[in-house]
A and B are shown apart, each in its own frame.
Chain A
Amino acid sequence: MAAATLRSAGFDRAVLLVVPAAAFMLLLFVYPFIYGLVLSFEPKTGGALANYHKFFTTSNLWPTIGTTLKLAVPATIINVFIAVPIAYRMRVRSRWQRIATALLVVPITLGTVLIAEGMLTYFGPRGWLAQFLQVTHLYDGSIRLTHNYWGVLISLVVSGFPFTFLLILSYITGIDPVLARAAATLGADPKAQFRHIYLPLLAPGLAMCFCLAFVQAFSVFPSAVLLGAPAGPTRVISIAAYEAAFEQYDYSLASAIAMIMGFVQLLIVAFVLSLRGWFYKGPVTGGKG
C-alpha cells in the first residue's frame, strides 16, 4: 500500500487561512456598517425613516450629493483622460519609464493635507502662479484658485492622478506589444493601433480604474475644507456627515448621511461596471507563448 493516499473529499485545512481576514472584515467593517445602518433608522425624533426624510427635505443637506458629484466625476474623468495618453507613451519599459513613474507617484505619498497646504501658497492670490501670470501679463484679471470649487478640483486631480496613472500603466503594460506590431504590419498607423487594439483591450480596465478613482474622490473631505468653500460651493456630503456627527451630535443623522453617500457611490460604480459587459474581457495576449 502507498504510504500517502490521495484524499478526494474531506476538509482542506488551507481554508483556515481565510479566518483572520474574515474575522477582521466582520469586526471592523461588517459590524460597524450594520451598526450604522441600524442606527440610521433610529432617529432622535420621528419614525424610522425620519433621518432620510430630513436629508432629502433640508436645503443644506440634499444638495451636497450634487456638489460632491460635481467635484468627483469631473476629477475622475480628467484623471483618466490625462493618465491614458501618458501611460500609453510609457508602455515600453525603459529608464525613462522608471524615472517618470517615480516622479508621477510622488503625490500619492504626500497625503491630501500636505498637497492642500502647498496649493494654498502656490495657487493662492499672492502665490507664485498668480504673480507669474500677472507679471508676464498672460492674464490680468483676478485669479482665484483657492477657497472655491477650482481649488478642490485641482487638489482632487493632483492627489488622485498617481493612483489612476499607476493602475492604467499596469493595464497597458499587460497588453502584449506584439499585437500593435502585428496591427502595424497590417497597415495600422499608431493612431489606429491605439484605437483598434489598445483602447478595446483597455476598456474594462479603464472602467474598473474609473470606479476606484471615483470612490476615492467622492469621499473628499480634507481638501474640500482646506482649499474649498465648505460653507457653500464645496459643501460636500462628507462635510454634512461630519457636521451632523460632531457639531450637532446627531449620530443617527450622520449614519443616515453616510448610508446615502455609500448608496450613491454604489449606483455610479454599478452603472460603470455594467458598461463593461459591452467590452471584450478575456486575456490580452495574442496567442500561445
Chain B
Amino acid sequence: MKHDFSELRLDRVTRRFAGAGGNAFNALNELSLTVRRGEFIALLGPSGCGKSTALNCIAGLLPLSSGTIGLDDTRIDTLPPERRGFGMVFQNYALFPHMSVAKNIGFGLRMRGMPQADVAPRVAKALRLVQLTGQEHKLPGQLSGGQQQRVAIARAIVIEPPLILMDEPLSNLDAKLRLETRSEILRIHRELGRATIYVTHDQDEALSLADRIVVMKDGVVQQIGTPEEVYAQPANIHVARFMGYRNVVDLPIAGERDGHVTLEAPDMKLVGVRKLPLDGKRAAVAMRPEEIAIATEPAASNVIAARVDHVEYGGRDSLVEVVTAGGKRLHLRSSTKVAAGANVYVHVPPERVLVYPSEGGGI
C-alpha cells in the first residue's frame, strides 16, 4: 500500500448487474478518468446513475466486470479493499458502534500493525484536524450526526491514504451543518494535499467543492469538466437539466447561422446558441430560471408574451411560473413583484439560450 501517488487511472471501468428477469444491465459503463494528486473530483448525478457503483469499484468493494484501475504503474483493480489502502467515508458513517471514538479512528492504524504508542499521537492529531479533541472516549452513539461524520472522516484520513473516497457524506446532515462540514471537507482536502473523489447528487456541493466534476446518467459519463464549464456550458440536455436549466422547451427550427439558431413557434420566437450538431426539424432549448427576466413591454428579440400562472415567494426573489398562449410553461426568478394572472413579457439573452438536439417529443 502506498501513501503517495501521482495518478489514478480508470480505464473503461464497467460494472454489470443481473437485472430482473435475467437481463443484465450496466450500472457503470466504460468510465475512463484520470485523477491527479491534489485533485478534488465530484461524481455527480441523480440516484441510480452509477456514481456510487463507481466509488465502490475504486474502493474494491465491488469487482469490475471489465476495465482496469491503475495507481501509477500498479494495477489495483484485482486487489481486495484491505490491500488498496484508500480511505472511505460512508453515507451512514459506518462507525463501529462498540468502539470508542479513539478506537474507531485508530482502527486502520492497528490493522497495519502499528504499535499502540505510535497510534495514540496520530489519533490525537486526526481528532484535532476534525476538531473533536476531548470526545475520544465516547462511543459513536453518544455523538451527534455531524460529530459522527467528522469521526468517520478522521478515521479515513488517519491512515494517510493516497485517495479519499466519500459517498454522499453530507446527505444525512441538516442544512446548516451541511454547509459547515462542506467547508471542513475542503479544508482537510487542501491540508492533506492528496486526492478526493466525492459522490453527490447535489449540484451545489459538486460546484463548490470540486476541481473537476464528472456528470453521470444511467451509468454513462455525460461530461467531465471544471465547475465553470459544467455550469455554463453543459455538454448535453441531461447535464443541462441537472445543472439547473429547469426550462427545457422543444421548438421547431426556423434557421441557423454561425452557430446561432432561430427557433419559432406561434407563441414563442427565440434565438439561441447551438451546443451540439442538430438533426431534424426540432430542437430542445434549455434556459435557467435565473437568466429569464420579466419585461413590461415588448422590446428587441427573445421576448415572449405570457401570463403569470403562480408565484412562490422565496425571500430575496420569487419563483414565477408563466404560461404562454400555446400553453408552454416557463419558470423564472424575479425580484420584481408580479401578481398571478398578470400579462407580462419575459426576456432571455440569446447567449443564455442553449440549443440541443430534440429528445423526440420534449415538452
- Chain B residues closer than 8 Å to A212, beta-carbon distance: none
Contact A185 B172 (CB under 8 A): no
Please, how many angstroms separate the alpha-carbon atoms of A182 and B96 in the complex?
Answer: 9
Please, how many angstroms separate the alpha-carbon atoms of A181 and B172 in the complex?
Answer: 19
Contact with A289, one of B61, B84, B140, B172 (Cβ below 8 angstroms): B172
Contact B94 A178 (CB under 8 A): yes
Contact B112 A286 (CB under 8 A): no
Contact A181 B92 (CB under 8 A): no
Q: For B85, give the chain A residue with the smallest CB separation.
A: A187
Secondary structure class of chain A's binding surface, majority of residues: loop
Within 8 A of B (CB), among A275-289: 279-280, 282-289
Residue A117 at the B interface, CB < 8 A? Answer: no
Contact A185 B59 (CB under 8 A): yes
Contact A176 B108 (CB under 8 A): no
Give the distance to chain B from A196, nearest Cβ to Cβ, in Å.
Answer: 7
Contact A186 B97 (CB under 8 A): no
- Chain B residues closer than 8 Å to A189, beta-carbon distance: 80, 82
Contact with B94, one of A176, A192, A280, A282 (Cβ below 8 angstroms): A176
Contact B159 A187 (CB under 8 A): yes
Contact B141 A286 (CB under 8 A): no
Contact A283 B92 (CB under 8 A): no
Residue B95 at the A interface, CB < 8 A? Answer: yes
- Chain A residues closer than 8 Å to B92, beta-carbon distance: 176, 178, 285-289
Summed over the interface, the residue pairs from A and B with CB atoms below 8 Å come to a total of 105
Contact B81 A184 (CB under 8 A): yes
Residue A73 at the B interface, CB < 8 A? Answer: no
Please, how many angstroms separate the alpha-carbon atoms of A206 and B80 in the complex?
Answer: 29
Q: For A184, give the chain B residue with the smallest CB separation.
A: B81
- Chain B residues closer than 8 Å to A182, beta-carbon distance: 88, 90, 94-96, 155
Give the distance to chain A from B285, nearest Cβ to Cβ, in Å.
Answer: 39
Q: For B139, give the chain A residue with the smallest CB separation.
A: A282
Residue B117 at the A interface, CB < 8 A? Answer: no
Contact B82 A188 (CB under 8 A): yes
Q: For B92, give the chain A residue with the smallest CB separation.
A: A289
Q: By CB atoms of chain B within 10 A, which of A179, A284, A289 has the most?
A: A289
Residue A197 at the B interface, CB < 8 A? Answer: yes
Contact A186 B108 (CB under 8 A): yes
Please, how many angstroms separate the alpha-carbon atoms of A185 and B167 in the complex?
Answer: 13
Of the four ranges (under 10, 10 to 19, 20 to 34, 35 or more), the interface on chain A belongs to 20 to 34
Contact B98 A280 (CB under 8 A): yes
- Chain B residues closer than 8 Å to A287, beta-carbon distance: 92-95, 140, 145, 148, 152, 172
Residue B300 at the A interface, CB < 8 A? Answer: no
- Chain A residues closer than 8 Å to B356, beta-carbon distance: none
Residue A154 at the B interface, CB < 8 A? Answer: no
Q: By CB atoms of chain A within 10 A, which of B95, B96, B152 has the most?
A: B96
Give the distance to chain A from B356, nearest Cβ to Cβ, in Å.
Answer: 37
Give the distance to chain B from A132, nearest Cβ to Cβ, in Å.
Answer: 41
- Chain B residues closer than 8 Å to A181, beta-carbon distance: 61, 81, 90, 94
Contact with B87, one of A176, A179, A185, A201 (Cβ below 8 angstroms): A185
Please, how many angstroms separate the alpha-carbon atoms of A279 and B98 in the complex?
Answer: 8
Give the distance to chain B from A108, nearest Cβ to Cβ, in Å.
Answer: 31
Residue B20 at the A interface, CB < 8 A? Answer: no
- Chain A residues closer than 8 Å to B112, beta-carbon distance: 187
Residues of chain A whose beta carbon lies under 8 Å from any beta carbon of chain B: 176, 178-179, 181-189, 192, 196-197, 200-201, 279-280, 282-289
Nearest first, the 3 A-B pairs at minimum CB distance are: A287-B93, A280-B98, A289-B92
Please name 8 further chain A to chain B contacts, defined as beta carbons within 8 Å, in addition to the given A287-B152, A288-B92, sorted by A numbering.
A185-B165, A187-B82, A187-B83, A282-B98, A286-B93, A286-B97, A287-B148, A289-B93
| Pairs across A and B, CB under 8 Å, 22 listed | A178-B94, A179-B94, A184-B60, A184-B61, A184-B81, A185-B86, A186-B87, A186-B108, A186-B155, A186-B159, A187-B111, A188-B111, A189-B80, A196-B107, A279-B98, A285-B97, A287-B94, A287-B95, A287-B152, A287-B172, A288-B145, A288-B172
